[in-house]
Structures are given as structure tokens and as C-alpha cells.
Amino acid sequence: MADVDNPAFDVSLVKGDRQWRPLVEGPAGRPPKRLTIGRVALYVILIAAAIFFLIPAYVMIMTSIKPMDEIRAGGMLSLPLSPTIEPWIIAWSSTCSGLVCDGLAPGFFNSIKITVLGVFFAVLAGAVTGYAMSFWKFRGSDAVFAILIFGAFVPYQILIYPLARIYSSIGLYGSLAGLVVVHTMFGLPITTLMFRNFFRTVPPELFKAARVDGAGFIRIFLQIILPMSAPIVIVAVIWTATGIWNDYIMGLVFGGRDSKPMTTILNNIILGEFGERRYNVEMAATFITAMVPLLIYLFSGRWFIRGVTAGSVKG
């Protein structure tokens, strides 16, 4: 049974490394007991780095709960004297994005729909494609795979205009369905890669035995392959979910008046702030947009890291 801590899981990381220590298991050995000057310096640097990575989030949250006069008085890093949730309410429900003044809420629900459906189809398509490529090898599947990976790498700018032409000619332009389709297509290379690498760790005898028993393509997939794929499904779901949620360019190009995702609306909100800028509302809106992937990240921990390493090492 392939489990997520199997070194072979991160195929490209471990090829031929006998000394491999799993990333999630942590270091080889316990921390030394004695605290030397060197160790103290080590911790000082590590904590300083942690502060650097945390400060923008801290500033974002603090700004979002301060009244504007406190912000104008300076003191960006100080705690709020009279905290308020009003900026959050304005950001969520009434601030203007272009001519529409409904706040971020419509974008939030659009992003939820786009992400849930996009993840579902991208992961399903990746699982089926990876399965067909791994166990039912035939001529041409390697070429398809190579082109998929290439497609995941190229700048969007090289594909986006023809795609927009196709979209407008078949009436997908500006619809939620269109965004789901585009995310499915651009998610497919990496999900296929993840499943393909994962299936390499499945003993081929398992598949052969099922074939001998007379099981077919669909039955083997549903009854044997899919049940053992839980770990890679989780990794692929987390990876695609954060990717789709954080997308901006596809939402910008293919989102219509009523189907814009949250990132696009967020950017329009801040672009549209004229005159006296309400930094607290801006930062509340920014933080609300960042919250979903951040929560996914915090709750999924090692699965997210799996996704980063498995999804990064393309090909």
C-alpha cells in the first residue's frame, strides 16, 4: 500500500538517495542539550527571520481593525487603541468595486463556486489521466504528458488571447462555467503529474492480478486505484484549491460582470479608492481574501508541503 510517507512518493526528490530522511519527519536526531553561543545565535537568526515573514500579516490585521484617525496618526506597528470591526463590515458588504457597491461578498461566493468545481474537475481529470497513462500505456501518452507539462510552464500571455477568442465564439466568455473550464485545463498538468508519480509506487502486480480476474478499466479505477489514492487526492486538492483561489489573471480575463473571483474584485476595490483612501477597509478586504488559502495552509500543514514539493518538481 502506498502511503504518503513512503520515500518513493516524492519520486523526483529521492531517486537513488538511500540516505533519505522524510521531510515531514524532521531532523536526524534530537536537539543538543547544551546551549552554546552558536546555538543562541542560531535561534536569534531563526526568530528574526520568522518576524520578517510574519510582519506583513501582522500589519495587515492591525491596520484592518484601526479607525482611520489612528492610522493617519502613524504608528503602523502599534496595537489599536480603540479596535473596530467596522472596516471589515464595509469591506465585506458595501465598499465599491467599479460601479458595484456590494463589497467583497459576491466575489467570495464566486471564488467558492469556481474553486470547488475547478478543484473537483481538475483533480478528477488528473486522476483519470494519470491512471490511464500509468497502467494502460500506449503510444502517444508520453507525448501528451510532455506537452501538458510544457503547457503548465509557459507564460499565460502566450495562450490567453486565442483562448479568449475561442471562449467568445462558443459563448463561455464571462461565465462561471468558463472559469471552471479554464482552471480545469490549467490545473490538469500538475494533477496529472502528481497522480502519475504516485501510481509509480503502486506495485504493478496489483493491477495485473485485477486484469487477470477480468476487471476492466473503470472497475479497476473505482475499486482498486481510487481507494488507495487518498493521500495524493488530498495533496492535489489542497494544491489546486490554493492555486485557483489565488488566481488573478484568469479571473481578470475570463470573469464577467457577475462572475469575477475575489482577487479581481479586491484589486478593483483598491484601484477604485479615490481621494481619502481608507487603508483600514483596504487591509480588511485584503486579509479577508487571504484568509481562505491561509486557513487551508494552516490546517493542512504537511500536505501543503507535499503539494509544494510534488507540484514544484515538474517533470
Cβ 209 to other proteins shortest distance, Å: 15
- What 201-207 contacts at long range (C-beta under 8 Å, 24+ apart), as own/partner pairs, is 201/2, 201/6, 201/8, 201/9, 201/11, 202/2, 202/134, 202/228, 204/135, 207/135
- Give the separation between CA 10 and CA 300, rounded to whole angstroms: 18
Which residues, including other chains, have CB under 8 Å from residue 234's CB and lie 6 or more apart?
300, 303
Cβ proximity to other proteins: between 1 and 38 the closer is 38
State the number of CA atoms in the 13 A half-sphere of 130 facing the CB.
28
Cβ 299 to other proteins shortest distance, Å: 11
Cβ proximity to other proteins: between 8 and 14 the closer is 14
Cβ proximity to other proteins: between 176 and 189 the closer is 189
Cβ 180 to other proteins shortest distance, Å: 14
Asked if 192 contacts 145 with a C-beta cutoff of 8 angstroms, the reply is yes
Cβ 244 to other proteins shortest distance, Å: 11
Task: Transcribe 211-245 into DSSP letters.
Answer: HHTT--HHHHIIIIIHHHTHHHHHHHHHHHHHHHH
Cβ proximity to other proteins: between 1 and 310 the closer is 310
Cβ 42 to other proteins shortest distance, Å: 6
Cα 58 to the center of its chain, rounded Å: 22
Cβ 58 to other proteins shortest distance, Å: 10
- What 64-70 contacts at long range (C-beta under 8 Å, 24+ apart), as own/partner pairs, is 64/88, 64/91, 64/280, 64/283, 64/284, 64/286, 64/287, 65/280, 65/284, 66/280, 67/280, 68/276, 68/278, 68/279, 68/280
Cβ proximity to other proteins: between 2 and 135 the closer is 135
Cβ 100 to other proteins shortest distance, Å: 18
Cβ proximity to other proteins: between 54 and 81 the closer is 54
Cβ 89 to other proteins shortest distance, Å: 19
Cβ proximity to other proteins: between 57 and 101 the closer is 57
C-alpha cell read off for 238:
489542497
Cβ proximity to other proteins: between 1 and 276 the closer is 276
Cα 255 to the center of its chain, rounded Å: 19
